[in-house]
Amino acid sequence: MENKTDVAIIAGSVSDLALVSETVKVLDEFKLSYSINIASAHRTPEHLKQCIDGAERSGVKVFIAVAGMSAALPGVIASRTILPVIGVPVECKHLAGFDALLSIAQMPKGVPVATVAVGKAGAINAAILAAQIIAVADDDLKDKLKSHKIKLAELVVKEDIKLQKDGLDKYTSG
Protein backbone atom coordinates (compact mmCIF):
# COMPACT_ATOMS: atom_id res chain seq x y z
CA MET A 1 0.00 0.00 0.00
CA GLU A 2 1.34 3.40 -1.01
CA ASN A 3 1.95 6.10 1.59
CA LYS A 4 -0.35 9.04 1.09
CA THR A 5 0.49 12.58 2.05
CA ASP A 6 -2.34 14.60 3.57
CA VAL A 7 -0.74 18.05 3.51
CA ALA A 8 2.08 19.45 1.39
CA ILE A 9 3.87 22.34 3.08
CA ILE A 10 5.99 24.55 0.87
CA ALA A 11 8.10 27.31 2.42
CA GLY A 12 9.39 30.15 0.30
CA SER A 13 12.76 30.16 2.04
CA VAL A 14 14.71 28.54 4.83
CA SER A 15 13.90 31.50 7.09
CA ASP A 16 10.23 30.40 6.99
CA LEU A 17 10.92 27.03 8.62
CA ALA A 18 10.31 28.33 12.17
CA LEU A 19 6.69 28.94 11.17
CA VAL A 20 6.54 25.60 9.40
CA SER A 21 7.50 23.93 12.69
CA GLU A 22 4.40 25.49 14.31
CA THR A 23 2.24 24.07 11.54
CA VAL A 24 3.83 20.64 11.87
CA LYS A 25 3.14 20.49 15.63
CA VAL A 26 -0.59 20.79 14.95
CA LEU A 27 -0.56 18.36 12.01
CA ASP A 28 1.21 15.85 14.28
CA GLU A 29 -1.46 16.41 16.94
CA PHE A 30 -4.13 15.46 14.40
CA LYS A 31 -1.97 12.60 13.06
CA LEU A 32 -1.93 14.01 9.54
CA SER A 33 0.93 13.13 7.22
CA TYR A 34 2.84 15.89 5.48
CA SER A 35 5.75 16.72 3.26
CA ILE A 36 7.92 19.82 3.57
CA ASN A 37 9.76 21.54 0.75
CA ILE A 38 11.54 24.84 0.23
CA ALA A 39 10.78 26.41 -3.14
CA SER A 40 10.69 30.00 -4.29
CA ALA A 41 8.06 31.19 -6.72
CA HIS A 42 10.58 33.70 -8.08
CA ARG A 43 13.96 31.98 -7.77
CA THR A 44 13.10 28.30 -8.38
CA PRO A 45 9.93 28.05 -10.49
CA GLU A 46 10.90 24.68 -12.00
CA HIS A 47 11.70 23.21 -8.59
CA LEU A 48 8.36 24.54 -7.30
CA LYS A 49 6.56 22.83 -10.19
CA GLN A 50 8.31 19.56 -9.30
CA CYS A 51 7.27 19.94 -5.63
CA ILE A 52 3.63 20.53 -6.60
CA ASP A 53 3.59 17.64 -9.07
CA GLY A 54 5.26 15.29 -6.57
CA ALA A 55 2.78 16.24 -3.84
CA GLU A 56 -0.14 15.60 -6.16
CA ARG A 57 1.29 12.19 -7.11
CA SER A 58 1.51 11.35 -3.39
CA GLY A 59 -2.21 11.96 -2.98
CA VAL A 60 -1.96 15.27 -1.14
CA LYS A 61 -5.28 16.82 -0.17
CA VAL A 62 -4.25 20.37 0.83
CA PHE A 63 -1.29 22.67 0.22
CA ILE A 64 0.04 25.08 2.84
CA ALA A 65 2.33 27.78 1.46
CA VAL A 66 4.41 29.88 3.86
CA ALA A 67 5.72 33.07 2.29
CA GLY A 68 6.79 36.58 3.12
CA MET A 69 7.29 39.88 1.34
CA SER A 70 5.65 39.70 -2.10
CA ALA A 71 4.32 36.25 -1.10
CA ALA A 72 3.74 35.01 -4.64
CA LEU A 73 4.21 31.38 -3.59
CA PRO A 74 0.61 30.56 -2.54
CA GLY A 75 -0.82 32.09 -5.71
CA VAL A 76 1.62 30.28 -7.96
CA ILE A 77 0.75 26.99 -6.27
CA ALA A 78 -2.97 27.77 -6.67
CA SER A 79 -2.41 28.51 -10.36
CA ARG A 80 -0.99 25.00 -10.85
CA THR A 81 -3.47 22.85 -8.88
CA ILE A 82 -7.17 22.40 -8.26
CA LEU A 83 -6.50 21.43 -4.63
CA PRO A 84 -7.08 23.84 -1.74
CA VAL A 85 -4.17 26.17 -0.99
CA ILE A 86 -3.73 27.92 2.36
CA GLY A 87 -1.35 30.86 2.45
CA VAL A 88 0.52 31.77 5.63
CA PRO A 89 1.92 35.32 5.54
CA VAL A 90 5.33 35.66 7.17
CA GLU A 91 6.03 38.62 9.41
CA CYS A 92 8.95 40.62 8.02
CA LYS A 93 10.81 43.45 9.67
CA HIS A 94 9.92 46.20 7.18
CA LEU A 95 6.14 45.96 6.84
CA ALA A 96 5.36 43.49 9.66
CA GLY A 97 3.93 40.97 7.21
CA PHE A 98 1.26 43.32 5.93
CA ASP A 99 2.76 43.11 2.43
CA ALA A 100 2.59 39.30 2.49
CA LEU A 101 -0.94 39.35 3.90
CA LEU A 102 -2.21 41.58 1.11
CA SER A 103 -0.35 39.63 -1.56
CA ILE A 104 -1.94 36.37 -0.43
CA ALA A 105 -5.41 37.78 0.19
CA GLN A 106 -5.67 39.74 -3.07
CA MET A 107 -5.75 36.87 -5.55
CA PRO A 108 -7.43 37.35 -8.92
CA LYS A 109 -10.85 35.78 -9.44
CA GLY A 110 -10.64 32.11 -10.28
CA VAL A 111 -7.42 31.52 -8.31
CA PRO A 112 -8.51 31.27 -4.67
CA VAL A 113 -6.06 31.02 -1.79
CA ALA A 114 -7.33 30.73 1.78
CA THR A 115 -5.45 33.29 3.87
CA VAL A 116 -4.75 33.01 7.59
CA ALA A 117 -3.23 35.42 10.10
CA VAL A 118 0.33 36.69 9.85
CA GLY A 119 2.96 34.72 11.73
CA LYS A 120 2.65 32.00 14.37
CA ALA A 121 -1.14 32.23 14.76
CA GLY A 122 -1.49 31.86 11.01
CA ALA A 123 0.88 28.88 10.91
CA ILE A 124 -1.20 27.13 13.58
CA ASN A 125 -4.52 28.09 11.97
CA ALA A 126 -3.31 26.84 8.58
CA ALA A 127 -2.84 23.37 10.05
CA ILE A 128 -6.26 23.45 11.71
CA LEU A 129 -7.91 24.66 8.50
CA ALA A 130 -6.17 21.91 6.53
CA ALA A 131 -7.47 19.38 9.07
CA GLN A 132 -10.99 20.83 8.74
CA ILE A 133 -10.85 20.53 4.95
CA ILE A 134 -9.68 16.93 5.15
CA ALA A 135 -12.27 16.15 7.86
CA VAL A 136 -15.08 16.68 5.36
CA ALA A 137 -14.42 13.08 4.32
CA ASP A 138 -12.96 11.70 7.58
CA ASP A 139 -15.23 11.16 10.60
CA ASP A 140 -12.35 10.26 12.94
CA LEU A 141 -10.66 13.54 12.14
CA LYS A 142 -13.97 15.37 12.69
CA ASP A 143 -14.07 13.90 16.20
CA LYS A 144 -10.49 15.01 16.88
CA LEU A 145 -11.34 18.54 15.74
CA LYS A 146 -14.43 18.61 17.96
CA SER A 147 -12.30 17.53 20.94
CA HIS A 148 -9.76 20.21 20.07
CA LYS A 149 -12.44 22.92 20.14
CA ILE A 150 -13.76 21.64 23.46
CA LYS A 151 -10.24 21.80 24.94
CA LEU A 152 -9.83 25.38 23.70
CA ALA A 153 -13.11 26.36 25.35
CA GLU A 154 -12.17 24.62 28.59
CA LEU A 155 -8.89 26.57 28.71
CA VAL A 156 -10.72 29.88 28.41
CA VAL A 157 -13.20 28.96 31.15
CA LYS A 158 -10.32 27.79 33.38
CA GLU A 159 -8.58 31.15 32.91
CA ASP A 160 -11.81 33.02 33.69
CA ILE A 161 -12.25 31.03 36.91
CA LYS A 162 -8.69 31.89 37.90
CA LEU A 163 -9.29 35.57 37.11
CA GLN A 164 -12.48 35.63 39.17
CA LYS A 165 -10.72 33.92 42.09
CA ASP A 166 -7.47 35.92 42.07
CA GLY A 167 -8.58 39.31 40.73
CA LEU A 168 -6.93 41.25 37.95
CA ASP A 169 -3.81 42.44 39.78
CA LYS A 170 -2.82 38.99 41.06
CA TYR A 171 -3.80 37.32 37.77
CA THR A 172 -1.65 39.63 35.63
CA SER A 173 1.34 39.73 37.99
CA GLY A 174 1.75 35.99 38.35
pLDDT for position 127: 98
pLDDT of 68 over the 80 cut: yes
Residues 97-156: tens digit of each pLDDT: 999 999 999 999 999 999 999 999 999 999 999 999 999 999 999 999 999 999 999 999
The residues spanned by each domain of the chain are: 7-137, 139-174
Statement: 7-137 belongs to CATH 3.40.50.1970: yes
pLDDT for position 76: 98
pLDDT for position 1: 38
pLDDT for position 48: 98
Q: Can you give the pTM of this predicted structure?
A: 0.94
pLDDT of 65 over the 60 cut: yes
pLDDT of 3 over the 80 cut: no
Read out DSSP for 70-125? T--HHHHHHHH-SS-EEEEEPP-TTTTTHHHHHHHH-PPTT---EE--SSHHHHHH
